A and B are shown apart, each in its own frame.
Chain A
């Protein structure tokens, strides 16, 4: 993977605060988005991700802090003076204009002649494979097609940064998956910086170079997909991204980068230590279900004995819920394939829950 940190900073948000009346939507958020990066703002609804996007677009003013675009402060500029374009959640296509005029609108506003705007609009429509619909009105298109028109309209003026506000949320699953890849390719081809807002963690993991996980108006963690998934900083991130077993553990000793812990019922385990954790602390540990596996007999010293409660077949995987003897429940996911060490046990079977190397991750809050 290329290092984005070598590239110039496209959008620089410094200590951005947004207050509505007595509600603080954004609490001092700082982040830098690099040029040519596919950057995702991820979080549940109300976390402030859309507010931040709208502040970059210029639809919301900045209560405190600054926003710069390639080094130029833009917080005081009205939306029509910012060289960024937005793909809106419900597309916001102009209903009284044809598809071609919708796509050409931005160029026309930039002072290009109508014929030039139409020519360029035609090219962009070609790029999203919609040229045969150019003389239709938006209402005569399907949701997926409208989505592409919205994308073409925002790309046509060749913005420095493209903002996408949950653009795929209205599409059905199959179409959404196809569009995710298409967006990713489009970003690579055009070299435009994409800032993508979504609440769908899978979507974020699929497309992004880097992800900013947000919650309650604060930035929780910033990193690439693997980092966010495998090394979550806190309970919120571990829980929000993917499925996980969040287990309360007591730290018994910390030494040489390793932490010796035990969970309820006295089951002991050893994992990587993280900064700020010391002996005697009660903290949470995240264990991804696919990094746990079951066996009949203990394989290593730190297996947990328990009983199979339930098997859930979900196509690609089989999820098993195991109740430990004196201890919490665990969710274990095994791939539905004959390879590997996955093995499915009947309900009621006595089993041992095993952890892969490094599967347990201590969380400080």
Chain B
């Protein structure tokens, strides 16, 4: 951004050059306090030794990462074997977040397209309606969802009562419940960026394609989707990343079997049973994973935009 300003502007940007740094100061301070400092602290803690009642001993150690990836037996003197427990929790998290993202895309894309094709005056109302559930706290929404989905809940009452099912469907404490919870938590983050992209879409392009003998399906695949792709990518990242680290939905809807990284990390900092360096290490691994995903998508975007 600074590069763009200095190459684009001539005398004007030179006049503002000294002021620019001062004006950016609040942003830099905020970012340092809220992003740079905590991440550095977390990284530091991940390389310390754990103290048994929570907290840390200030001594460098790689044991947190070692514990994450390797199993050295009960007394820690067996030869190291790859430890699948945590890796599989990570893998499950990626899978759950991925399915939730896919569900959000399948529901969010038509929703966004629908809003973008309304008359201009109506669109603000539809966008507002999409965000209404998010005025309620996430915890309350997730608990309510559990109440709706449980065996004796309204959904099953309806399904059994109407004769569609003879026995209640078990949804709570399954992977699907977690996916549903994540999907519901983050759906607007899919709808809004796609809507923003679809609103800018020139619908004459769809007409032009139809005029050139493209069927509706081909228009969607060859013209509309490539045009709103930046919005889709942004939406997927905005749903996938928080889903990956989420702990409310897996905790409340998934039960003990359907543990995700977020819960794993949360456990490490709770009460006396925790392991701070291990929690910090798991966070760092999660952070690295997310960064890699973002970098790949940024590179893809840059390639596509050329």
Binding site for B on A (CB under 8 A): 57-59, 78-81, 84-86, 88, 90, 92-96, 105-106, 109-110, 153-154, 157
B41 to chain A, nearest CB (A): 44
A59 to B205, CA, bound (A): 12
Q: With A95-B227, A96-B227 in contact, do A105 and B212 touch (Cβ < 8 Å)?
A: yes
Instruction: Contact check, B215 vs A80: say whether CB atoms are below 8 A apart.
Output: yes
22 pairs, CB–CB < 8 Å, chain A vs chain B: A57-B207, A59-B207, A59-B211, A79-B207, A80-B210, A80-B212, A86-B211, A88-B204, A90-B202, A92-B202, A92-B208, A94-B205, A94-B208, A95-B205, A96-B226, A105-B214, A109-B212, A109-B213, A109-B218, A153-B208, A157-B212, A157-B213
A96 to B218, CA, bound (A): 15
Neighbouring B residues of A106 by C-beta, 8 Å: 212-213
Nearest CB in chain A to that of B208: its residue: A92
- B196 contacts the other chain (CB 8 A): no
How many residues of B are in contact with the other chain, CB < 8 A?
17
Instruction: Contact check, A78 vs B227: say whether CB atoms are below 8 A apart.
Output: no
Instruction: Contact check, A80 vs B208: say whether CB atoms are below 8 A apart.
Output: no
Contact of B211 among A85, A93, A95, A96 (CB under 8 A): A85
Neighbouring B residues of A80 by C-beta, 8 Å: 210-215
Neighbouring A residues of B205 by C-beta, 8 Å: 92, 94-95
Binding site for A on B (CB under 8 A): 202, 204-205, 207-215, 218, 223, 226-227, 304
Neighbouring B residues of A81 by C-beta, 8 Å: 213
Nearest CB in chain B to that of A90: its residue: B204
B117 to chain A, nearest CB (A): 14
Instruction: Contact check, B214 vs A109: say whether CB atoms are below 8 A apart.
Output: yes
Contact of A94 among B209, B210, B213, B218 (CB under 8 A): B209
Question: Which 9 pairs between the two chains have the least Cβ-Cβ distance?
Answer: A106-B212, A109-B213, A92-B208, A92-B204, A79-B210, A96-B226, A86-B211, A80-B213, A80-B210
Nearest CB in chain B to that of A105: its residue: B212
A74 to B296, CA, bound (A): 49
A78 to B226, CA, bound (A): 23
Instruction: Contact check, B212 vs A153: say whether CB atoms are below 8 A apart.
Output: yes
Neighbouring A residues of B218 by C-beta, 8 Å: 109
B249 to chain A, nearest CB (A): 36
B160 to chain A, nearest CB (A): 44
Neighbouring B residues of A93 by C-beta, 8 Å: 208
B87 to chain A, nearest CB (A): 39
A54 to chain B, nearest CB (A): 9
B242 to chain A, nearest CB (A): 29
B177 to chain A, nearest CB (A): 39
Neighbouring A residues of B227 by C-beta, 8 Å: 95-96
Neighbouring A residues of B209 by C-beta, 8 Å: 94, 105, 109
Query: With A78-B210, A79-B211 given, can you name 16 additional A-B contacts, CB distance below 8 Å?
Result: A57-B207, A58-B211, A59-B210, A59-B211, A80-B213, A80-B214, A84-B211, A85-B211, A86-B207, A93-B208, A94-B209, A95-B227, A96-B227, A96-B304, A106-B212, A157-B213
B17 to chain A, nearest CB (A): 31
B197 to chain A, nearest CB (A): 13
A351 to B71, CA, bound (A): 113
Instruction: Contact check, B208 vs A88: say whether CB atoms are below 8 A apart.
Output: yes
Neighbouring A residues of B212 by C-beta, 8 Å: 80, 85, 105-106, 109, 153-154, 157
Neighbouring B residues of A154 by C-beta, 8 Å: 211-212
A80 to chain B, nearest CB (A): 5
Nearest CB in chain A to that of B212: its residue: A106
A344 to B210, CA, bound (A): 57
Neighbouring B residues of A157 by C-beta, 8 Å: 212-213
Q: With A88-B204, A94-B205 in contact, do A57 and B211 touch (Cβ < 8 Å)?
A: yes
A93 to B304, CA, bound (A): 17
Question: In this complex, which of A57, A96, A110, A157 has the most chain B Cβ atoms within 10 angstroms of its Cβ?
Answer: A96
A53 to chain B, nearest CB (A): 11
Nearest CB in chain A to that of B202: its residue: A92
Neighbouring B residues of A84 by C-beta, 8 Å: 211
